[in-house]
Amino acid sequence: MTPGTNTPSTTQTTARKKTRGGRKRRKSSTAKTNTAQDSAASAPVSDTTAPPPDELIAARASSPPTRESEASAESESEPTAERATSSSSSRKKKSSSRAGGKARKQRKRRQSRTSTNTEASATDESESPQSSAPVVASQEKDREVTTTRQRTSRRARREETEFASVDPPGPGSQGREMLINVSVGDECRIAVLDRGRLEELFIERTASQSHVGNIYKGRITNIEPSIQAAFVDFGLPQNGFLHISDVQPQYFPNHKGGSEEVGKKIPRHSRPPIQKCFRRGQEVIVQVTKEGVGTKGPTLTTYLSIPGRFLVMMPGMNRHGVSRKIEDEEARKKMRQVIRDLDLPSGMGFIVRTAGVDRTKRELQRDLHYLTRLWKAVVERIKSQPSPAALYQESDLVTRTLRDVYGTDYTRIVVDDEETARKVREFLRIVMPKTKVNIQLYRDPQPLFHRFGIEAEIEKIHLRHVPLASGGSIVIDQTEAMVTIDVNSGRFRPGTDAEEAAYKINIEAAEEIARQLRLRDLGGLIVCDFIDMRLDKHRRGVERTLRDALKKHKERARILRMSAFGLIEMTRQRRGPALERNIFDDCPYCGGTGQMKTVDSVTLDAMRIIRLAAYHPDVRTVSVTVSPEVAYRLLNEKRTALHKLETDTGKTLLVRGDAGFTTDQVAYRCEDARGREVDVVPDYSKPAETGRKS
């Protein structure tokens, strides 16, 4: 067969197959698009914190095609070149003559490759009609492999220039640093270092994600007038707790539609009873303010707040303010004037965050537009979704930390995951476009936190005893009611002034207490027992040191004056369970107390229970299983007493040792003459019942 005949070539057949495959792919992609749109309609609104600016979108739309797109366009045009007729060939020649020299050279190279492929396929068809397809397929496969290698090499070169190399850590590190350790699909950990010392630690696991900040559409399940609270089913396993102090006036009876001022709630004497605000089954929009702890469900509020980068939006509130953490009065006046000049929507309250200080009106207005668009999306879900439903979902840990913690005083951010590093760079480029950020991608095989010495610091977080540089120490204990912290003097040097030594240790302890509260994420009622000091100026100095150290925290804290006994009582805002609760479980043997009965105590307890069961009229056999240590005591030291008890009662007493039993673990089994179990031994783990049964 000679070239030029009307018989279709192998390349044309391949092109038809590709065309049919393209139709199938278009159909499947259309079906996938419809499915994605349906699933997106039921998903909660997610906080991306800041939208890309309009200039960025325009730049992306007008950007020239990349080399990869040009290469793919060439590879797609090659199989269809043989189908061109003489008229299309003449049009190509005219267009190529009008194009530049570069386009003419590219066209000649494509024509030469096409003619070569056509001649090769024609020759192969004359010799073996079925041999052309493998040749074309192998050529296409070679081109795909070459293109893939080129893309991989270009991507590797681009990644090397995208992120700076990681500087080796050391004690001379200056400023603040942020380390982000990502275990994809399992855990994300973020450590904040100040001059190489661990200051903050954030941990989020996929299995136990935080719900604080999420907004839900819930339904009232129960109302408790005695505690002036309602319980709300909002979609989580535990119902939420909503107190009357967290109910907005819009839920009050005979509400006239006014808005409440930012930062101020209705006084207690002006609140109606909660049973007049809600009824069972009523829908309510709530936000989680604190995670549930133990059997207690999450704490809810109807005072909604959605944070942006520079502003916090509070729907249903009136007026506007500046964060209390901004103490400079001149800066507060300036920001109040800037926020008055913004185009603020009615019925919305706004607070300028600390990150919004010295920001321009344009930056604040852009953040305002983003928040209002986000709230409109939430309102649409309120109208369309039945309760319970998730309306708004807070950002992931990386975005939240960058939004709330990161500032211009950070010298670098080190990330050990490439995708997360790009996410960090994109986020900071949008929210802080004028700030040069040093983002470093960590690629060493040694884990990031081990390289910087953070893993050892994290292990020390969970210890009760925290040593101080002066030789003293602090001891931290958590109870159900409060957190207690005791300051010990440790090594006291004879010949030094006791008052000055106590003051020095207390000052150091106050700074370390604030650091430990931050690292362990402890909150609620906290009592600190400092070393006794006689001078009032020393007492005030310790109070001032502790108060100044706690001002750096995001969580609010309230400190009382030091008592005559050297105690400082304080409260610290708690948003969820302490870090220890997310990492540790209670010991199944001691129940979380950290204590176990001694061998002597367990031996005496076992003898008392054996005597109780032996004198029961229905019991014939008493079997006791204990640890080997307790069994040794019973069968040796108590053998005479057990033999006498068997003789007096006529019962059979059996003692067994089990290596799998702990020291204070004892199992009893009492049987009657027929071998049936008799319940004789009381269960002391359950509280005794008191009073009459109705």
Spatial distance between the Cα atoms of 542 and 510, rounded to a whole number of angstroms: 7
Question: Which amino acid makes up residue 239?
Answer: N
Identify any residues that bridge with 30 across adjacent strands, giving them in sequence order.
Answer: none
Spatial distance between the Cα atoms of 277 and 272, rounded to a whole number of angstroms: 7
Residues 387 and 412 in one domain: no
Spatial distance between the Cα atoms of 657 and 233, rounded to a whole number of angstroms: 50
The DSSP secondary-structure symbol of 179 reads: E
Q: How many CB atoms lie within 10 A of CB 450?
A: 12
Residues 303 and 423 in one domain: no
Question: Which amino acid makes up residue 563?
Answer: S
Residues 557 and 665 in one domain: no
The beta strands (E) that lie in 334-427 are given as: 348-352, 389-393, 410-415
What's residue 644's pLDDT? Answer: 93
The beta strands (E) that lie in 303-427 are given as: 306-307, 311-315, 317-318, 320-322, 348-352, 389-393, 410-415
What's residue 57's pLDDT? Answer: 33
Residues 251 and 380 in one domain: yes
What's residue 260's pLDDT? Answer: 53
Contact yes or no for 514/546 (Cβ under 8 A): yes
Mean of pLDDT over the chain: 76
Spatial distance between the Cα atoms of 572 and 513, rounded to a whole number of angstroms: 12
668: enclosing H helix or E strand: strand 667-671
Identify the burial level of 338 via C-beta atoms within 10 angstroms of its C-beta, where 0-12 means exposed, 13-18 middle and 19 or more buried. buried
pLDDT tens, position by position, 192-251: 998 888 888 988 887 777 888 899 999 999 999 999 999 999 988 889 999 999 998 888
- Among residues 155, 435, 125, 122, the alpha carbon closest in space to that of 309 is found at 435
Contact yes or no for 392/44 (Cβ under 8 A): yes
What's residue 379's pLDDT? Answer: 92
CA distances from 451 to 39, 152, 166, 174, 398 (A): 42, 29, 11, 17, 21
Report the DSSP pairing between strands 283-290 and 299-301: antiparallel
Q: Which two tokens stand for residue 120?
A: 């090769």
* Residue where one domain finishes, among candidates 542, 562, 583: 583
Is residue 381 included in any domain, yes or no? yes
Q: Which two tokens stand for residue 93?
A: 């020649």
Q: Is the pLDDT of residue 62 over 50?
A: no
- Starting at the edge strand that comes first in sequence, how are the strands of the sheet with 197-205 ordered? 197-205, 187-194, 176-183, 410-415, 439-441
Count of all residues that appear for the chain in the document: 694
Residues 344 and 385 in one domain: yes
Is residue 135 included in any domain, yes or no? yes
Residues 579 and 611 in one domain: no
Is residue 567 included in any domain, yes or no? yes
3-class state of residue 173 by DSSP: coil
CATH code assigned at 250: 2.40.50.140
Q: How many CB atoms lie within 10 A of CB 671?
A: 16
Is residue 103 included in any domain, yes or no? yes
Residues of the domain holding 560: 462-583
What's the whole-number mean pLDDT along residues 331-344? 84
Spatial distance between the Cα atoms of 632 and 626, rounded to a whole number of angstroms: 10
In degrees and rounded to multiples of 5, residue 90 shows phi and psi of -65, -40
Query: Among residues of the chain, what percentage have pLDDT more than 90?
Result: 31
Question: Which amino acid makes up residue 30?
Answer: T
pLDDT tens, position by position, 649-660: 999 999 999 999
Is residue 569 included in any domain, yes or no? yes
Spatial distance between the Cα atoms of 411 and 90, rounded to a whole number of angstroms: 62
Instruction: Report the range of poorest mean pLDDT among 150-154, 340-344, 470-474.
Output: 150-154
The DSSP secondary-structure symbol of 574 reads: -
591: enclosing H helix or E strand: none
pLDDT tens, position by position, 445-463: 889 999 888 888 888 888 8
Angle between helices 10-41 and 101-127 (to 10 degrees): 120
DSSP count for the chain of H helices, then E strands = 19, 27
Q: Is the pLDDT of residue 406 over 70?
A: yes
Identify any residues that bridge with 260 across adjacent strands, giving them in sequence order.
Answer: 317
Contact yes or no for 216/391 (Cβ under 8 A): yes
Per the structure, the count of domains in the chain is 5
The DSSP secondary-structure symbol of 155 reads: H
Residues 596 and 627 in one domain: yes
Is residue 171 included in any domain, yes or no? no
The DSSP secondary-structure symbol of 44 reads: P
Residues 186 and 101 in one domain: no
Q: Is the pLDDT of residue 51 over 60?
A: no
- Region class of 320: left (phi > 0), else alpha (psi between -120 and 50), else beta: beta
Angle between helices 418-431 and 397-404 (to 10 degrees): 40
What's residue 267's pLDDT? Answer: 67
Identify the burial level of 476 via C-beta atoms within 10 angstroms of its C-beta, where 0-12 means exposed, 13-18 middle and 19 or more buried. buried
Is residue 2 included in any domain, yes or no? no
Q: Is the pLDDT of residue 489 over 50?
A: yes
What's residue 336's pLDDT? Answer: 85
pTM over 0.75: no
Residues 442 and 476 in one domain: no
Residues 149 and 33 in one domain: yes
Q: Peptide bond before 249: cis, by omega within 30 degrees of 0? A: no
Q: How many CB atoms lie within 10 A of CB 288?
A: 24
Residues 311 and 219 in one domain: yes
Residues 317 and 447 in one domain: no
Binned at pLDDT 50, 70 and 90, residue 642 comes out as very high
CATH code assigned at 652: 3.40.1260.20
User: Which residue in the block uniquely carries the two structure tokens 């019942």?
Assistant: 689
pLDDT tens, position by position, 609-639: 999 999 999 999 999 999 999 999 999 999 9
CA distances from 406 to 276, 319, 328, 384, 517 (A): 44, 28, 20, 36, 20
pLDDT tens, position by position, 504-556: 999 999 999 999 998 888 888 999 999 999 999 999 999 999 999 998 887 88
Q: How would DSSP label each residue in 283-319?
A: EEEEEEEE---TT---EEES---EE-SSEEEEETEES
Is residue 167 included in any domain, yes or no? no
Question: Which amino acid makes up residue 603?
Answer: T
Q: Which two tokens stand for residue 671?
A: 């049987």
Q: How many CB atoms lie within 10 A of CB 521?
A: 22
CATH code assigned at 431: 3.30.420.40
What's the whole-number mean pLDDT along residues 31-54? 52
Contact yes or no for 12/83 (Cβ under 8 A): yes
- Torsion of Cα atoms, 5 then 11 then 15 then 16, to 10°: 50
Contact yes or no for 438/178 (Cβ under 8 A): no
